[in-house]
Amino acid sequence: MKQRKLHTLHRPAKKANGHPPLVFVHGGYVHSGCWDLNFLPHFSSLGYHCHAVDLSGHGASEGKEHLDHYDLDHYAGDVAQVVADLPTAPVLIGHSMGALVVQRYLEKGAAAAVVMMAPVPTTGLAACSIQLNARQPDFLQEAARAVRGRYTDKTVRVMREVYFSPDVTAEEFAAFKPLVQDESTTAIAEMMVLAWRPPMRGRPKIPALVMGGELDAIFSSNLLHFTASGWNAETCVIPRAGHMIMMEPHWHLAATKIENWLARRLGPRLAVAA
């Protein structure tokens, strides 16, 4: 496979804990910067080597001119390229579309464990999109403004209500605004009809955690069990959190849940030379 020019944020462990590295995969319409505000410094301080990839056409990675041609398999190939450069199989942490991408990667690739945050439900985007547009009829129009950086007061209000909980501050939302970008129409179309894709065979038996926000306006936490059941995964709902869990005021609770789960499933940490 031809090497893609992918931008990856690397936050080395402050003092390595002996656990596998963490690879973070962002969701649709954003880039890896969503992890860098809270999660990357937090987990690196706990002794994890942290890597957050910009998928093709996102952030500082190449391919913006071809963005609409990329499907989920292409994004899974991005993850495979990042993993291939690591010394050992990592823990994959994917958010929203990124949770779907890591699942697609795991059809062929290896990982020590997987965390799926606010995952696209196995039933696909269609029903969720209909419900969201019924609640927020101006969302598509305002999202189109947001990806071009043309925020009005209405754009801010709608995007905050869709992506975050009511607890988010103006400063926290301001950090989200520059992350927003276009998404691949091919990937979106693929996620719309996800329910018609044959189920994954030979799913790897690795520790899996599925996490969602109690107040997620895009993918209701009631849908988490659809993803969890296929992976025999533990589930966790973060109280009062919205869709962008890692950027929410409640991000630390989510990070602590993941850290405790990793300690339980991977064993106690042991400090080693970085």
Q: Give the residue carrying structure tokens 């992506």.
A: 163
Report the phi/psi class of residue 44: left, alpha or beta, with left for phi > 0 and alpha for psi in -120 to 50: alpha
The Cα 149–Cα 165 span in angstroms is 21
Contact (CB, 8 A) for 60 and 82: no
pLDDT band for position 269 (cuts 50, 70, 90): low
Average pLDDT over residues 227-240: 96
User: Which residue do the tokens 């403004």 mark?
Assistant: 145
Residue 154's CB is within 10 A of a number of other CB atoms, namely 12
Tell me the residue type at 139. Answer: F
Pick the closest to residue 261 from 48, 119, 79, 114 (CA basis): 114
Residues 72-103 pLDDT 10s: 999 999 999 999 999 999 999 999 999 999 99
Q: Report pLDDT digits (tens) over 90-140.
A: 999 999 999 999 999 999 999 999 999 999 999 899 999 999 999 999 999
pLDDT of residue 271: 45
Nearest-angstrom CA–CA distance, 249 and 202: 38
Read off the pTM.
0.95
Domains of the chain: 8-130+184-266 (3.40.50.1820)
What is the mean predicted confidence (pLDDT) over 67-76?
97
Q: What percent of the chain has pLDDT over 90?
A: 89
